[in-house]
């Protein structure tokens, strides 16, 4: 199956700093990538849809100025959590579809555990 | 938003069969997915249903009834490694190919 690489796997930062998370499609091109957030023992909540070469589409209630998304190429999307606070501590996961897969399933990155002190 | 409901937790015995149910709002339904997620890891794809009926894949099977807005994931010959969270996800038309996830069912397999 298709491979989605996400980096870093975990990060600890101080409150007020910014953190960048990268998501790469390794063996396919992804015009669209999806960013999810997951709190402990809860399901995945879609934050935004990242569109290559254009602005991201944010879900209701997600602050676009706080969660900056850039999709500058067909294989890379980045999520930057700006001025992070402890309540931003969560598991962030990116995903994408492989256009050549034939089924509309999502392939997920390995996730990034963010802890804000 | 679209509501997707699953039981929160289930417990089953090694070697047994377990059925995890999922209900969803039928309006705009485009397809249903089941994913397995171990703690601290990314979800992995299990199955995809777009037409009514049963899809079998080894020890795992998934069933869909579009008219009832109902699906289930059937796990046979349970193994300890099957202890995980099982996520039901639905694609809705007009949603821009987004997947909406259910709350997930935490399955615990015991000896």
Would you state the pLDDT for residue A5?
93
Encoded tokens for B79:
């193994």
Per-residue model confidence as pLDDT tens for chain B (111 residues):
578 999 999 999 999 999 999 999 888 888 999 999 998 888 999 999 999 999 999 999 999 999 999 999 999 999 999 999 999 999 888 766 678 899 899 999 999
**Cα atoms found within 13 Å of the Cα of residue B69, Cβ hemisphere only:** 13
Chain-chain contact of B43 with A109 (C-beta, under 8 angstroms):
no
Nearest to A99 by CA among A25, A21, A7: A25
pLDDT digits (tens, 9 = 90+) for A30-67: 889 999 999 888 889 999 999 888 899 999 999 999 99
Nearest to A93 by CA among A104, A105, A77: A77
B40 inside 8 A of chain A by CB: yes
Would you state the pLDDT for residue B96?
65
pLDDT digits (tens, 9 = 90+) for A63-94: 999 999 999 899 999 999 999 999 999 999 99
Q: Where are the beta strands (DSSP E) in chain B?
A: 4-5, 9-13, 18-24, 29-37, 44-49, 53-57, 60-65, 70-75, 84-92, 99-101, 105-110
Question: For residue A101, what pLDDT band results from cuts at 50, 70 and 90?
Answer: confident
**More reliable by pLDDT, A72 or A108:** A108
CB A53 within 8 A of CB A77: no
Distance from CA of A111 to the nearest CA of B (A): 6
Q: Is the dihedral of CA B37, A15, A60, B9 positive or negative?
A: positive
Say if residue A2's pLDDT is above 90. Answer: no
First-to-last C-alpha distance (Å) of chain B? 39
Q: What is the mean pLDDT of chain A?
A: 92
d(CA B41, CA B54) in angstroms, rounded, equals: 28
Distance from CA of A44 to the nearest CA of B (A): 6
- What residues of chain B lie within 8 A of the CB of A111, using their CB? 40-42
């Amino acid at each position: 199956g298709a491979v989605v690489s996400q980096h870093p796997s975990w990060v600890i930062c101080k409150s007020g700093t910014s953190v960048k998370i990268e998501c790469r499609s390794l063996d396919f091109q992804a015009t669209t990538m999806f960013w999810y957030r997951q709190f402990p023992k809860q399901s995945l909540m879609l934050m935004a849809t990242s569109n290559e070469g254009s602005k991201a589409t944010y879900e209701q209630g997600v602050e676009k100025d706080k969660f900056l998304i850039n999709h500058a190429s067909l294989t890379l999307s980045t999520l930057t959590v700006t001025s992070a606070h402890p309540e931003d501590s969560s598991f962030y996961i990116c995903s994408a579809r492989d256009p050549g897969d034939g089924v509309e399933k999502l392939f997920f990155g390995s996730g990034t555990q963010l802890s804000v002190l | 938003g679209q509501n997707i409901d699953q039981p929160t937790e289930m417990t089953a015995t090694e070697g047994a069969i377990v059925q995890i149910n999922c209900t969803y709002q039928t309006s705009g339904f485009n397809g249903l997915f089941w994913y397995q997620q171990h703690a601290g890891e990314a979800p992995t794809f299990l199955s995809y249903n777009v037409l009514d009926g049963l899809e079998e894949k080894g020890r795992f099977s998934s069933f869909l009834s579009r008219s009832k807005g109902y699906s289930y994931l059937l796990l046979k010959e349970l193994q300890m490694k099957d202890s995980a969270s099982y996520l039901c996800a639905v694609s809705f038309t007009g949603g821009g190919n987004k997947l909406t996830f259910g709350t997930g069912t935490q399955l615990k397999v015991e000896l």
